[in-house]
Chains A and B, each alone.
Chain A
Amino acid sequence: MIYNEAIPAILIGLPLLAAFITPIINLASKKARNAFVIAILAIEELLIILLAWHVFTNGIVIYTMGAKNPSIVPLQAAVPVRIVLEIDGMAAFMGLISCTVAMAAGIYSIAFIKEGNGKARYYTLLLIMLAGMLGMVFTGDLFNLFVFLEILSIASCGLIAYRQHADAVEGAFKYLVVSNIAALFVLFAIALFYAQYDLLNIAAIANAMQYTQLDKIALALLVAAFAMKCGAVPMHFWAPDSYSTAPAAITAMLVAASQASLYALFRVCFTLYGSLMNYHMIGIAIIIFGLLSMFIGVTMALPQKDIKRLMAYHAISQTGYMLLGVGVGLYLLGSSDFNVYGIKAMEGGIFHIINHAMYKGLLFLTAGAIYYRLGTRNLNEMGGLGHTMKFTSIYFIIGALAIAGIPPFNGFASKLLIYEACYKVSPILSIVAMLVSVLTLASFIKVFHSAFMGPKMHDVKEAPKSMLAGMAVLTFVIIFFGLFPGWVVSHIVHPAAMALVEKMAYINAVMGG
């Protein structure tokens, strides 16, 4: 294989470097800049596939920044003080999502973002956002996690406010306040760890963890902060505001960014605390978050009139499925039932993460195509778009059927896993999950009817080719995952789930022994 051990560092460094080269190339030629950005995103996709393949076959990959191994030499200390990138199955899985969504968003933006008004800076921020996401999921160091969290949120805020109209600025401001408060409490929790163990490395802290009173405070702060960042009810209010006002390609990226926070939440619960904490209690807390998110998200989506706001509420509701699936896994962790159906629930929840990033990304992109041609997000002013925007409506149908869990699309496979595993824990969980699925289908029928059906009301053309190509990338992944769910679960999702469960493997990879 052409695998190189420096790939993890290149994956984070390359978009950062390219981000600041983009405005320079922009001076020469607009076309060259587009080609450059797409090439970088394609290289990233290729590298992440190489890395993920390596991780899924050979196990955890460690990359130490600036040295051969994580320990420091002069003091002969046994603790890892250097910044470590630790890529296990789950991190590689999240990296795949980020790169794929970023590529689709990059291709889509060629036509979607109009020239002038600083399109080069748009691409700069987009690449920084990708670097932030990858850094957040790859890092093995808690403080580094905080830094990438902030890089990600600052870049996202700049992009949400890109169009600078009143709504966009307000959405960006709310996102910035919320994510900054969350990040500050994450930093406070990190300081609590440092006070006790003099460590910042995730694996080393997990190894030394005593579960003292301070650790409990840190756990509560971390769970609350990351739950707010991933948009769990009742801390979801920022999500519709900023999702609906950002440019559509950025909204698709924001979905992936929220899932990076979801990853951090799972990493804290499973790896940092794992069997030490009362995982029954935290598991129940996450299940309650999930149930509330699912139900309140979907019921708030039904009466919405803004197409992207409606979809944003669905993003909250789908996050609930992931929290439910993984929460059930956390609840059962350590019991004998875990190997029977706890792991299936986790597989369902984790499979749903990638499915959701793909179909919700696709749906936001179709909403963006409508906005591009029609200039409005208000569903009341739409109608009969299916007459001319044929490809867009086909993409929309695929996305809508996938999110509603209709076979044979990918949403069905992950929801089936969640339903069956949750039924064993409590039938009520499955009933709520199915009810939410029905309501999801209902509200997407509303969108499809009011936007695409009916008599021809507007004289619009089909979306430009690059936007269709960006959507095609995500559609391809949806159909592939829908047709071969068994292969995907056993080769990608199962290693990711096991990476979360096997805490000792993560610790030993850094600490040795």
Chain B
Amino acid sequence: MIWNVPFITVALLIAIGLYAVMFKRNLIKIAIGITIIESGVNLFLITLGYRKGGIAPIYTNLPSGVKVPEGMVLPVPQALTLTSIVIGVAVLALMLSFIMKMYQHNKSLDSHSRRLKG
């Protein structure tokens, strides 16, 4: 049961993030919601690679008694998470700069004060 906690957290994070993107009118809060969804997905990836009592997957200087590869955590999800975090930072920076520009033009952070419709 305790092993399901990370997955429950993942579901909660994605749900909270989606709630923020769907129902919060403040543009900054939408950006925060997207970041929370991203954290949820990243946590999911990391949880997939975890093994109980596993060590870092480095072959040189292995502690004795570690089974290869069963005793190691999976390296691939960690690489994926790292890539995903980097992309997330780029997207967040771009999004916040767009929000800044929109605030300069519209003098409002409300998602309902839009110009394009119909």
Contacts and interface: CB of A to CB of B under 8 A. Distances in A.
Contacts of B41: 184, 187-188, 191
A150 B34 contact: no
A391 interface: no
B101 to A, nearest CB: 4
Interface in A56-98: 75, 81
Given A167-B116, A180-B91, A173 B99 contact: yes
A184 B44 contact: no
A2 interface: no
Interface string A166-204: 110111111011001100100110010011001010000
Contacts of A245: 116
Interface residues of A, number: 37
Nearest to B117: A241
Contacts, number: 86
A195 B69 contact: no
Interface in B40-95: 41, 44-45, 48, 69, 74, 76-77, 80, 83-84, 87, 90-91, 94-95
Nearest to A176: B95
B115 A167 contact: yes
Nearest to B44: A191
- The contact size tier of chain B is 20 to 34
A166 B106 contact: yes
A161 B98 contact: yes
A244 interface: yes
B6 to A, nearest CB: 12
A172 B98 contact: yes
A187 B84 contact: yes
A405 to B, nearest CB: 27
Contacts of B38: 184
A371 to B, nearest CB: 16
B48 A194 contact: yes
Given A167-B115, A172-B98, A194-B77, A181 B21 contact: yes
A154 interface: yes
A177 B34 contact: yes
B21 A177 contact: yes
A327 B83 CA distance: 34
B91 A154 contact: yes
A164 interface: yes
B102 interface: yes
A197 to B, nearest CB: 11
B101 A191 contact: no
B94 A188 contact: no
A147 B83 contact: yes
Contact of B91 (A143, A150, A198): A150
Nearest to A165: B105
A158 interface: yes
B48 A170 contact: no
B115 to A, nearest CB: 6
B30 A177 contact: yes
Contacts of A147: 83, 87
A157 interface: yes
Contacts of B30: 177
B114 interface: yes
A240 interface: yes
Nearest to A168: B101
Nearest to B98: A173
B74 to A, nearest CB: 8
A475 to B, nearest CB: 30
Interface string A332-363: 00000000000000000000000000000000
8 contacts: A75-B69, A158-B94, A161-B98, A169-B101, A169-B102, A172-B98, A187-B41, A194-B77
Interface of A: 75, 81, 143, 146-147, 150, 154, 157-158, 161, 164-167, 169-174, 176-177, 180-181, 184, 187-188, 191, 194-195, 198, 200, 240-241, 244-245, 304
**Cβ-closest 3 pairs across A and B:** A166-B105, A173-B98, A169-B101
Given A169-B102, A176-B91, A177-B95, 20 more contacts: A75-B69, A81-B76, A150-B90, A150-B91, A161-B98, A161-B101, A165-B105, A167-B116, A170-B114, A170-B115, A170-B116, A177-B21, A181-B34, A184-B34, A187-B41, A191-B48, A198-B74, A240-B116, A241-B116, A245-B116
